Amino acid sequence: MKKYSALKGTQDILPPDIHIWQKVEKVAKDVFTAYGFQELRAPIIESTDIFIRSIGETTDIVEKEMYTFSDKAGRSITLRPEGTAPIVRCYVENHLYNLPSPQKFFYSGPMFRHERPQAGRFRQFFQIGAEAFGIGEPKIDAEILSMLKLFFERLGLKGLNFQVNSIGCEKCRPDYRNALVNFFSDRINGLCPDCKRRFEYNPLRILDCKVDACIKLREGTPRVTDFLCSECSEHFNKLLSLLNLLNVPYVINPDMVRGLDYYTRTTFEITSKQLGAQNAVAAGGRYDRLVEDFGGPPTPAIGFAIGMERITALVKSSCKETIPVPEVFIATIGESAEKEGLVIADKLRNKGIWVEIGYAGNSLKSQLRKADRLSAHYVLIIGDDEIAAGKLKWKRLSDGTRGEIPFNEVYNFFN
Ligand code: HAM
């Protein structure tokens, strides 16, 4: 028989790990809601051009990593490699810019990039992201970083490194581009074929090439922060002072340019030393031009995305998560007891209590063994004698305490 397996770079998320995923999702929802972000769900497939237009034609994602196919009508469709472009498309298409600013959204779900799989890097991976539209002032940049700090604190994660940078705007970018072209013009022969092309079309992208030779040739590259115009410089300095005010620890990383073209001004990455090569657990930045590029009115915006596989790996290794177990196991002997047990189970489940029961012909001993294996908190035992006496037996497995209760009181016994 042919054996099937999950595709390379994809994975099944099973219990007990799923409990960590659910916890991270809940903490994100609670924290983001306190900052006024509402959930938005956009499709997983989009027209390919929205990603080319936003992420950029000469980025690794667009050049090499997108899952793109033609649908039956010959349209080019792409499985979303990230969440920002779809949210911006949705924001513009639904005229959400007509609503009061800021409009703040969060989203979660799978993203797809055809990368070389390795620890912490998948082809289908999950993100929780957030995007805020309509505010250009650095106050919201600081709020977002402070929100991320709270999110990590709530998950009990320590030792994360907040790296921030500013990559300027359309006003200061040309000067920086020229400085890069000057810098790389006598190094061009040593660059990889992709970077030779990037040199022509988008020299900034040479800065996030992962080829060793290019990394070496980058030593001494001009820094974007030395080319910021006065407005971008002021924006960045204000952000830094607000981060101090809010006690968000950060380091400035002037080499961080991010791998997507839509960014302007603030960019940031949050990394962990515990994660090896793929160490970014969350990343984001401003994209003040993108709404306009998608046909909307000029609308500044900022957002980020958290990598779920990486964050759950950190939560798993840093705190002992308690795995949920059944509250009650109902063991029965005989046909009438089995029916009685089923009714009690139904009523307790109706109260939201997790109840497990024994099945067809299992001896009392094997049912009790099963309750033990499941680590149920309580076992209820019902047989003909208990039915005749109108009382069932209970036992608390943690300390062996036992007793009897009338059938009609069992529902109040568990709250
Ligand atoms: P990104 O840096 O491409 O940004 O991805 C954000 C996070 O997703 C990364 O820091 C990492 O934790 C996770 N991630 C990315 N690729 C993979 C992968 N192949 N396997 C596992 N995890 C991965 C964005 O996606 C932007 N849309 C973030 C943003 C939102 N910027 C503004 N708004």
Q: For residue 277, what pLDDT is reported?
A: 86
> Which residue, by CA, sits nearest to atom 8 of ligand 1?
307
Mean pLDDT for back-to-back runs of 10 residues, the chain (415 residues): 96 95 97 98 98 94 96 98 98 98 98 96 98 98 98 96 96 93 94 92 89 92 95 98 98 91 97 92 98 98 98 90 90 95 97 94 92 97 96 96 96 89
pLDDT in the model for residue 295:
98
pLDDT of residue 322: 76
Measured in degrees and rounded to the nearest 5, phi and psi for residue 51 equal -80, -40
The answer, yes or no, to whether any atom of ligand 1 lies below 6 A from the CB of 81, is no
Phi, psi of 284 (to 5 degrees): 180, -160
Partners of 357 in the beta sheet? 330
**pLDDT computed for residue 81 by the predictor:** 98
pLDDT at 383: 96
User: Could you give the C-alpha distances from 385 to 163, 343, 344, in angstroms and in order?
Assistant: 69, 18, 17
End-to-end Cα separation, the chain, in angstroms? 49
Q: What is the pLDDT of residue 117?
A: 96
Print burial letters for 286-311: b (CB count within 10 Å at least 16), e (below 16).
Answer: bbbbbbeebebeebbbbbbbbbbbbb
Q: Is the CB of 122 under 6 A from ligand 1?
A: yes
pLDDT at 257: 85
Q: Is residue 321 in contact with ligand 1, taking CB distance under 6 Å?
A: no
Residue nearest to atom 23 of ligand 1 (CA): 307
Q: Give me ligand 1 centre to Cα 251, in Å.
A: 20
Which parts of 279-342 are beta strand (E)? 280-286, 301-307, 328-332
pLDDT value at residue 297: 98
pTM attached to this predicted model: 0.94
- Element spanning 38, H or E: strand 38-39
Nearest CA to ligand 1 atom 13: 307
Under 8 Å between Cβ of 88 and 324: no
Strand-pair partners of 329: 356, 379
Residue 228 is predicted with a pLDDT of 97
Give the distance (Å) from ligand 1 centre to CA of residue 307.
6
Distance from Cα 257 to the centre of ligand 1, integer Å: 14
Could you tell me the distance, in angstroms and rounded to a whole number, from the CA of residue 81 to the centre of ligand 1? 9
Distances (CA, A) of 41 to 83, 86, 91, 168, 235: 10, 10, 12, 31, 31
